[in-house]
Structure 1
Amino acid sequence: MSEQAEEATDELREFFGLAWAPMEHLAQMLVAEGELRGLIGPREVPRLWSRHLVNSAAISPFVPSDADVADVGSGAGFPGVVLAIMRPDTTVHLIEPMERRVAWLSDVAEEVGLDNVGIHHARAEELHGRQTFDVVTARAVAALDKLARWAMPLVRPGGELVALKGRRAEEEVSEAKYVLRKLGASSTRVDAVTGLPLDTSATVVRITKRS
C-alpha cells in the first residue's frame, strides 16, 4: 500500500487560498507518480505538504509583482511550479537538465493548466549571457558558493537570487562571501519564515545583485 500525504487541513486551504485547487492537483500527481518517476523518496510522501509544498511556498512573499523568474534545477517542481501556481502574475522559467524531469514538468504544466511557465531543458550555465531575470530561485540544488556561480549570472542588475536553504544558511553565506562579491552581490540577507502551516520551517537567503 502506498503512503498517503498529510491530510488537507483547513489551515492548508486557507494558506494557499485561490491556489488551493491547482496545488492539491500537484500534490495528487506527486503522490501517484513522484516516487515511481524518481522525483521524491518513499519516506517523503507522508511529509509532502510540510517538507516540500509549504516550504517551497515560503519564497512567494520575496518575489515582486509581475516578476520574470528563473528556477534553477527545478526537479519535481520545487519551488518553481509551486511559485507559478501561487503567483499567476509572475512568469516562471523552469531550468532543468535531466530529460525525465523535464518530461514531468511538462506533464504538470499541462495537467495543472499553468500558462505562466516556460520549461528549459538545459543547465543554468548554458543560459549565461543569453538571458537574465528579475529573480532566480533554487531549492536543494547545491551549497551556496556553487549555486551562486550557476545562478548569479542569470540575475539582472538590481535583481535577486532567492534561495531556500536549511539550518546551515548562515554558514553557507559566510563561506560564499568572496564568491558572492566577485559575482556582483551588493547585499545578502537570511530570513527565517515563520507562521507557516503544519509547523513548517523555512529559511530564505536573498542576494541582491549590484545595479
Structure 2
Amino acid sequence: MFGDRLALAARYAELLVTDGVVRGLIGPREAPRVWERHLINCGVMSEMIPIGASVTDVGSGAGLPGIVLAVARPDLTITLVEPLARRTAFLSEAVTALGLDTTVTVVRGRAEDLVGGPPAAADVVTARAVAPLDRLAGWCLPLAAVGGRLLALKGASAAEEVAEHRDAIARLGGADPVVRLCGAGLIDPPTTVVEIVRERAVVAPRPRPSGRAADPGRSTGSAGGRGSGKRRSRRG
C-alpha cells in the first residue's frame, strides 16, 4: 500500500501514538492497533481515487484519512478541513514534519463555510466517522465538483444508513449511494466506503422569515447568520 513511502507512514504512526494520544486526538487504547485500525483502514480507500485527483478531507481530526492518503499517494492534492484549533495545530505540525507541504493544505473551518471556495471544488471529498449519512452529504457534496464523489468511511451499518437516507441524498443532488468494500484480502474486515456521485448542484433553500415582523431597533441574530440568543451592545 505504501511502497517506498512505508518509512514515512511509520513516522506518521509514531506521531499518532505519541503526540496524537497526548493531545487527545486518538485514545490511548488505539495506540497498539494504530496500523490496522487507522492507517491501513484508511489507506485502502486510495484504490477508489484516480491519479492526480484533488481531495478535500472533511473533519480531518488527526489526519484520517487525509494524511494517510497523502503519504500513500503523492500524486494527490489534498486539503484537510478541520474546525478545531488544537486539531488543526496538530495537522499543520504533522504535515511539516512529514514533508507533505507541497501537496497538503490545512484549513481551519467548517465544511459549510467553504462552499464556493477556496479551495476549489474537489474531484473527491472524503470523511470518516463524522456524522450520519444525510448530514454528511449535506456538508460534503457541495465541496465536490459536479461529477465528483463523496467517499464516506462507514461501519457495518452502512447499508442501513443508505436505505434510510437515500431520498435526502437525492434532494441534495447526489446519485444513488453505493456501498463499496476496499482492501478485501488485505484486511479483515475490509473497509466499508459509501460512494456518492454529485450529479447536480443544488442551491440551498433560503431560510424562511419569521412570522413576526422584526423590530428595526432590535438585534435579530449574531454575526455569521446564526442566532446565538445573546444580544450584542453597540459602542461608539
Larger radius of gyration: 2
What residue is the counterpart of 2:136 in the other structure?
147
- Of 47, 59, 73 in structure 2, the residue corresponding to residue 73 of structure 1 is 59
Question: Do 1:55 and 1:200's aligned partners in 2 also have CA atoms closer than 8 Å?
Answer: no
What do residues 4-41 of structure 1 show as CA deviations (whole Å, max 9, x unaligned)?
A: xxxxxxxxxxx321220110000111122111101000
Structure 1 counterpart SS, 2:25: coil
Does residue 177 in structure 1 map to residue 163 in structure 2?
A: no
| Aligned counterpart in structure 2 of residue 205 of structure 1, from 194, 201, 216 | 194
Whether the aligned pair in 1 keeps the contact of 2:145 and 2:198 (CA below 8 Å) is yes
- 1:84-163 alignment to 2 at 5 Å? 84-114=70-100, 115-130=102-117, 131-163=120-152
Residue in 2 that maps onto 1:19? 5
- Candidates 15, 27, 42, aligned match of 1:41: 27
Which one has the bigger strand percentage?
A: 1
Write the letter of the residue equivalent to 1:67.
A
- Kept in 1, the 8 Å contact 2:60–2:81? The answer is yes
Alignment check: 8 A CA contact 2:2 2:71 kept: no
Once the two structures are superposed, residues 67-86 of structure 1 have per-residue CA deviations (whole angstroms, 9 ceiling, x without a partner) of: 11100000001000000111
Structure 2: distance between partners of 1:91 and 1:98: 22
> 1:200 offset after TM fit, Å?
5.0
Q: Larger RCO: Structure 1 or Structure 2 (Cα < 8 Å, ≥ 6 residues apart)? A: 1
Conservation of the 8 A alpha-carbon contact between 1:94 and 1:119: yes
Q: Deviations over 1:152-191 (max 9, x none)?
A: 1111110000111100111111111111101111232111
* Aligned partner of 1:63 among 49, 52, 58: 49
The residue type paired with residue 109 of structure 2 is A
Asked whether the equivalents of residues 148 and 198 of structure 2 are also in contact (C-alpha less than 8 Å), the reply is yes
Report what 2:155 is aligned to. 166
Count of paired positions? 196
What's the C-alpha RMSD, in Å, of the aligned pairs? 1.2
Gaps of 5+ in 2: 201-236
Does the CA-based 8 Å contact 2:166-2:177 persist in structure 1?
no
TM-score (norm. length: structure 1): 0.89
Residue type of the partner of 1:196? L
Equivalent residue in structure 2 for 1:195, among 185, 188, 205: 185
Q: Counterpart of 1:136 in 2: which secondary structure?
A: strand
Identity of aligned residues (%): 49
Which runs of no fewer than 5 residues in structure 1 stay unpaired?
A: 1-14
CA distance in 1, matches of 2:194, 2:44: 11
1:108 match: secondary structure: helix
Q: Give per-residue Cα distances to partners, 1:181-211, cap 9 Å, x unaligned.
A: 01111232111221224x3531011101116
